[in-house]
Amino acid sequence: MIIRELKLKLTKKQEAELERWLFHLTSVYNWTVRKIELDAKDKIYYGKFDLINLIKLHSKKLKIPAHVISGVLVQAWISWQRCFKKLSKKPHFKGRRNKLNSIPFPDSIKSIGEKEIKLLGLGKVRFFKQDIPEGKIKCSRIIKRASGWYLLITIDTNHKFEVKENAPIVGIDTGFHSLLTLSDGVKFENPRELKLGAKRLAQATRGRNYKLIGRIQEHQANRRKDRNHKISRNLVENYSTIYITNDNLKGQQKKFGKSILEASIGNLIKMINYKSAVHADRKTILVNSKFTTMICSSCGAKTGPTGFSGLAVREWNCACGAHHDRDINAAINVLHLGLGYNLKAPAMEQLTGMSI
């Protein structure tokens, strides 16, 4: 499954029509959120399709395709399901502050031209030309951004790329200084533009220039996505099994706020996971990273920097004589944990006979 984003060239009429849809769909979303909440108090719970049936007739009245309306309903329904399962907070209403900015088209699209696509209710929609991989378009979504309107299409295809044969295994530590550190010493940093963008965003935020904030945020999101694609592909190409820290990202987010959010490591890990799953001989495994920074990867003693206070320590020497780069040491420990070793025992003894 691949997702492609097409920048749309809408006519004035189509744009006005989409704005009209967004206006009505906001009400549909809010109505659904409210309906589920009120009825849940009376112990009435809805399945997806019960809800869709409830407002089946509105499609004609609002002059919006039925599958678009049910798409929004399902979106609200899923938010509640996540909340009921305690995975997320109660869904918020959409409004001026929390705008609904995307329109789902859950039904598949039969054909797409080189420069245009036919969408129910909008007619032929033109877009800026780009290569689109062959495959069935499963579903799509129109998104309104600061820089214009986009169509996200999900294409069902076996998108495999070439990977190295007999690739080694690797442990990966995630962090603030380097985005990713590999047990073989390779480090992935955040691209320079992403860092510059963060500075500009801070400036725009201080100046309360909301239009600019929107544009920079969009740019940053694109850069992060691009970075994640490149890194995840590189890793899956070059390593057969990837052990990666399962850090408590939420806890760190609270402590460090923006910086970890900017790193958006969670999404990167998802992407690595997804890409390795596409390839039969690739695996990504999350490893609980407790003590990986503290423990010396050579002798197993707890001589390394501890906790958040030790964050400034980049390099250290262990009593056993080993000199460690903080992040590489942690990455090696992640690898060892992934292989099932006991970190507190000297690694060399356990590794005898193993080639890594």
Q: Which residues bind Zn ion (CB under 5 A)?
A: 296, 298-299, 318, 320, 322
Cβ-contact 307, 255 below 8 angstroms = no
Instruction: Tell me whether residue 279 is exposed, middle or buried, using C-beta atoms within 10 angstroms of its C-beta: 0 to 12, 13 to 18, 19 or more.
Output: middle
- Got the DSSP string for 80-133? HHHHHTTSSPPPPPPSSSS---EEEE-S-B--B-SSEEEETTTEEEEE------
Minimum CB separation of residue 244 from Zn ion in Å reads: 24
185 or 251: CB nearest Zn ion:
185
Closest to 230 measured CA to CA, from 196, 278, 189: 189
72 or 332: CB nearest Zn ion:
332
Minimum CB separation of residue 321 from Zn ion in Å reads: 7
Minimum CB separation of residue 186 from Zn ion in Å reads: 23
255 or 302: CB nearest Zn ion:
302
Minimum CB separation of residue 326 from Zn ion in Å reads: 14
197 or 305: CB nearest Zn ion:
305
CA distances from 277 to 95, 116, 138, 158, 247 (A): 38, 33, 20, 12, 21
16 or 313: CB nearest Zn ion:
313
Cβ-contact 324, 315 below 8 angstroms = yes
Minimum CB separation of residue 346 from Zn ion in Å reads: 8
Find all residues with CB under 8 Å of 118, minimum gap 6, and list them. 109, 111, 124, 125
Minimum CB separation of residue 329 from Zn ion in Å reads: 9
Minimum CB separation of residue 205 from Zn ion in Å reads: 45
In the numeric block, the tokens 């390795």 are attached to: 276
307 or 321: CB nearest Zn ion:
321
CA distances from 131 to 6, 16, 113, 116 (A): 10, 28, 11, 12
Minimum CB separation of residue 304 from Zn ion in Å reads: 9
180 or 299: CB nearest Zn ion:
299
Assign 295 to helix, strand or coil: strand
Cα-Cα-Cα-Cα dihedral sign, residues 272, 278, 283, 287: positive
6 or 299: CB nearest Zn ion:
299
In the numeric block, the tokens 């749309």 are attached to: 8
Cα 161 to Cα 133: distance, rounded to the nearest angstrom: 13
